[in-house]
Structure 1
Amino acid sequence: MILVTGATGHFGKSTIDFLLKKGISSTNIVALVRDEAKAGDLKAKGIIIITGDYHNYDSLTKAFQGIDKLLLVSSSDVVDRTGQHRNVVSAAKEAGVKHILYTSTERKNETASSPIHFVTGSHIETEDMIKASGIPYTIFRNNLYLDMVPIFFGQQVLEKGVFLPTGETRAAFATRDDMAEATANVLIGTGHENKEYAISNTENVSIPEIVRSLSEVVGEAISYVSPTPELFVETMLKAGVPEQFVGMFAGFSEAIRQGEFETFKTDLESLLGRKPVSAKEFLTGVYAAKK
């Protein structure tokens, strides 16, 4: 029996869809959700729905009874992610879960000096507690989603261009669906216990290279400016962007600039059995209709 947490989110849903496509019966998949009302599409596919909350330990131990493989999709709660994950890992151990799989993040700098320590810190703590639990584990070091590029670029990218302080440094962006399919393959497969995988594209691209590809896709020149981090923050705040989002964009941009997401590992390609979707292919799918 496979349980997926965060099952109504993009990654959880995609992983479940791939499990179904690959022949896993819906009666062997459990979706852990906070709000059953949001799980109508999963229920329609025959998925077993169990309500539970990361803050409610008893709900987790109940949900995890009889579970062989538990996919912990990392919580989106940056403030208390570590506490929530601690409950999941402890409940999994108490319930006798046989294998826990965790969606972590790619990184190089594991110290507090990292520009994205507000994200990586809790991932590192979670990885440590999973390993300390004694439960066989698989950790996915997920790189940046290509799906986030349109969000970073903004809705008016074709008119206003791209304004991000990333410089020329490359990152191994990959699509969320490719990452989810690789995760599903591991859930279905064997021999993945106590392993860590770098879930990154085999292609590394910089933001200016992505902008050039976007220009080719839409058939017009898109401008790119890489400001200083200080000017970026000042400009975004003046434009009315909420401070928390400005901080997040600035942090990830600096992490890209420092090379945190550049890697040449081929785990994702190996787990997929094919080349991951490239940045150009992704951009074509998103922007070609906007020509």
Structure 2
Amino acid sequence: MILITGATGKLGSQVIQTLIDKNVPPNQIAALVRDETKAAHLKKKGIDIRISDYDNRPALQNAMEGIDKVLLVSGLDVSKVVKQHQNVVDAAKQAGVKCLAYTSNCLRDRNTLLNQVMLTHVETEDYIIASGLNYVIFRNVLYMDSMALFMIGGKNVLETGIQLPTGEGQVAYALRSDEAEAIGNVLAGEDCRNRIYNFTGSQAYSFADVADALSELSGKTVTYTPVDMETYQASARERGVPTQTVAMMAPFMTDIKNGQASTVSSDLADALGRKPVDLKAGLKQLLNL
């Protein structure tokens, strides 16, 4: 029995679909959700719906009754996410779960990270490993989806170009759908041998590479202009981006500039059984070019 947390989210729902596609019977899949009404489509497929959230330790333990494997999809609330993850780990251990999997982030050097969100992954990984549970950690690279839709502003980039404080930093982007498929493939057959996967694309790309790919796809000249952090933050505020968000993005961009997301591994391709979607094909899909 495999329990997927965050089951109605983008990643969790795609992992569940992969498990079904891999012929895992729906009655061997459980979905952890906060709101049962949002999981009606999963229930119709025969998936067992379990109700809890990461803050409710007793309910988490009840939800894990009879579960062999748990996929902990990382939470979003930085102010309490490490404690939430610890609640899931503790509940899994108490419930006798045989394998705990976690969606972390693929980063080059944990000791020089600036982004506090990424540091929560480091703390969670350490807690899982120290727990004594058998584990699988999926270190996912920055989703190409997030880059295309949020960092460069979607199709507006064809008119505005790219202006980011990321220098020549490179990222080995992968599609969320490829990451989810790979996770599902591993969970469907993994014997949980305390393995860490670095799920990245097959090549790392700079934002100059992103601009070149967009130019080829659109037939327009799209440029990348590296800017300093002050210029980027001033421009973001002018566009109405909340001050708190602007401040949060600064270390994220600096980590990219410093090469934190540039690791390239074959783990994703191996788990997929094929090459992951590359930059040009991914942008074409995401932006309908």
Structures share a fold, TM > 0.5? yes
Aligned pairs for 1:94-105 within 5 A: 94-105=94-105
- 1:139-154 alignment runs, 5 A limit: 139-149=137-147, 150-154=149-153
**What corresponds to 1:238 in structure 2?**
238
Q: Could you tell me which residue of structure 1 aligns to residue 34 of structure 2?
A: 34
Contact 2:134 2:192 in 1 (8 A): no
The residue number in structure 2 matching 1:128 is 126
Written as runs of structure 1 = structure 2, the 5 A alignment for 1:157-168 is 157-168=157-168
Gaps of 5+ in 2: none
Contact (CA 8 Å) 2:108, 2:263: kept in 1 or not? no
Q: C-alpha offsets along residues 56-105 of structure 1, whole Å, 9 cap, x if unaligned?
A: 11110000011001000001111111010010000000000000000011
For 1:126, the aligned partner's letter is T
The DSSP-based 3-state class of the residue aligned with 1:104 is strand
Correspondence list, 1:249-288, <5 A: 249-288=249-288
Q: In 1, Cα distance between the equivalents of 2:250 and 2:217?
A: 27
Q: Cα deviations across residues 163-188 of structure 1 (Å, max 9, x unaligned)? A: 21112221111011111111111111
Question: What are the equivalent positions in structure 2 for 1:143-222 lying under 5 Å apart?
Answer: 143-149=141-147, 150-155=149-154, 156-222=156-222
Alignment partner of 1:138 is 2:136: yes
The answer as to whether partners of 1:217 and 1:287 remain within 8 angstroms in 2 is no
Q: CA RMSD in A?
A: 1.3
Q: Give the superposition deviation at 1:36.
A: 1.1
Which ranges in structure 1 are unaligned for 5 or more consecutive residues? none
**Which range moved further: 260-269 or 22-31?**
260-269
Amino acid at match of 2:71: L
TM superposition outliers: structure 1 runs of 4+ over 4 Å: none
Do 2:107 and 2:263's aligned partners in 1 also have CA atoms closer than 8 Å?
Answer: no
Deviation per residue, 1:242-277 (Å, 9 max, x gap): 123223332222111100011132111111111011
Q: Which amino acid aligns with 1:145?
A: Y
Whichever residue aligns with residue 81 of structure 1, its letter is V
User: How many residues in Structure 1 have an aligned counterpart in Structure 2?
Assistant: 287
Q: How much identity, in percent, do the aligned residues show? A: 44
Given residue 136 of structure 1, which amino acid in structure 2 is its aligned partner?
N
Whether the aligned pair in 1 keeps the contact of 2:106 and 2:139 (CA below 8 Å) is: yes
Contact 1:152 1:249 in 2 (8 A): no
